[in-house]
Amino acid sequence: MSTARARIAPALAGAARVTLGLLWLHEGILKYRAGFGAADVGFVVDGAASNPRVPGFFQAFVDASLAAAPGLFGALLPLLETALGVALVLGVLTAPAAAVSVVVLASYWLADLLVWQYPAMVLLSVVVLASRAAAGAWSVTSLVAVLASRRRARAQ
Please state the pTM of the whole predicted model: 0.86
Burial class (CB in 10 A: 0-12, 13-18, 19+), 61: middle
Angle, vertex CA 95, rays to CA 54 and CA 141, nearest 5: 145
Helix, strand, or coil (residue 54) = coil
Output the pLDDT for position 86: 97
- Asked if 130 contacts 95 with a C-beta cutoff of 8 angstroms, the reply is no
In this predicted structure, what is the pLDDT of residue 151? Answer: 82
CA 79, 84, 87 angle in degrees (round to 5)?
Answer: 120
pLDDT digits (tens, 9 = 90+) for 42-75: 999 998 889 999 999 999 999 999 999 999 999 9
pLDDT, tens digit (0-9, with 9 covering 90-100), for 104-141: 999 999 998 888 889 999 999 999 999 877 777 777 77
Cα gap 22→80, rounded to integer Å: 14
DSSP 67: T
Q: Which residue has the higher pLDDT, 81 or 151?
A: 81
Q: What is the pLDDT of residue 107?
A: 93
Q: 70-90 and 38-50 helices cross at what angle (nearest 10)?
A: 100
* Distance (Å, whole) CA 100 – CA 40: 21
Mean pLDDT, range 70-82, rounded to an integer: 96
As a whole number, the mean pLDDT across the chain is 89
Cβ(135)–Cβ(128) below 8 Å = yes
